[in-house]
């Protein structure tokens, strides 16, 4: 099954939380699934749907690296049983599309080392040394400059 990009649509900050919980923060308190900036002006959350089921999520925040302008991607996750079928790439494409539609700018994220290859396929590049996020393992910052659409 390949994900249809048409099945990506904005969802609320509340809707992304169950998937964050089971994929990104299993075993942690549900309160940990609300991220700073989730409800801020300019933040946007995308959901990927297989029928009625929300199977993937990604969130964008108006937060540049080092306090400058830009967009931070966070909370990128797909359910284990749909991985490799295109939902992650479709979500990332929706995020890039949103940044472009909003005038472009740098899109960046803290990427788990295991996910670096996924982001590279979408054009992001590693722009930092490895660093440890306690409890989440080694990460690198990855970024891409998105042109205005
Ligand atoms: C990373 C993640 C979001 C990818 O989602 P997905 O739905 O599997 O992605 P897709 O099926 O759209 O894959 C797109 C492409 O990336 C590749 N890919 C997917 N995950 C990859 C990975 N971890 N490393 C390298 N390549 C990867 C796919 O093979 C596919 O390649 P193709 O274009 O040649 O076919 C998903 O594996 C996930 O939720 N992982 C656990 C949570 C996580 O690590 N999130 C990222 C936090 S930084």
- The domains of the chain are located at 5-146
- pTM score of the predicted model: 0.95
Residue nearest to atom 46 of ligand 1 (CA): 76
The CATH number of the domain covering residues in 5-146? 3.40.630.30
In this prediction, residue 3 has a pLDDT band, given cuts at 50, 70 and 90, of: low
**Percentage of the chain with pLDDT > 90?**
93
Integer Cα distance of 20 and 81 in angstroms = 15
Q: Is 115's C-beta closer than 6 angstroms to any atom of ligand 1?
A: yes
Residue 67, pLDDT score: 85
Q: Does ligand 1 have an atom closer than 6 angstroms to the CB of 123?
A: no
* Digit-coded pLDDT (tens) for 7-33: 999 999 999 999 999 999 999 999 999
Query: How far apart are the C-alpha atoms of 93 and 101, rounded to whole Å?
Result: 12
CB 48 within 8 A of CB 19: no
Closest CA to 61 of 70, 52, 50, 53: 70
- Tell the burial category of 57 from Cβ atoms under 10 Å away from its Cβ (0-12, 13-18, 19+): buried
Measured by CA distance, the residue closest to atom 44 of ligand 1 is 115
pLDDT grade for 85, boundaries at 50, 70 and 90: very high
Atom of ligand 1 nearest to the CA of 78: 39
Read off the pLDDT of residues 94-134 as tens digits, 9 standing for 90 and up.
999 999 999 999 999 999 999 999 999 999 999 999 999 99
Q: How far apart are CA 25 and CA 60, in angstroms?
A: 18
pLDDT for residue 147 is more than 60? yes
Ligand 1 center to 121 CA (angstroms): 9
């Amino acid at each position: 099954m390949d994900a249809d990009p048409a099945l990506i649509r904005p969802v609320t900050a509340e809707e992304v939380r169950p998937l964050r919980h089971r994929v990104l923060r299993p075993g942690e308190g549900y309160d940990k699934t609300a991220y700073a900036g989730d409800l801020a002006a300019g933040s946007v959350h995308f959901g990927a749907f297989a029928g009625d089921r929300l199977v993937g999520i990604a969130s964008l925040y108006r937060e540049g690296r080092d306090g400058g302008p830009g967009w931070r991607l966070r909370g990128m996750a797909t359910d284990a049983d749909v991985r490799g079928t295109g939902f992650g790439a479709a979500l990332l494409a929706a995020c890039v599309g949103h940044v472009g539609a909003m005038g472009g700018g740098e899109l960046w994220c803290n990427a788990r080392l295991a996910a670096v290859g996924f982001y590279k396929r979408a054009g992001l590049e590693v722009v930092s040394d490895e660093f440890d996020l306690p409890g989440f393992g080694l990460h690198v910052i990855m970024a891409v400059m998105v042109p205005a659409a």
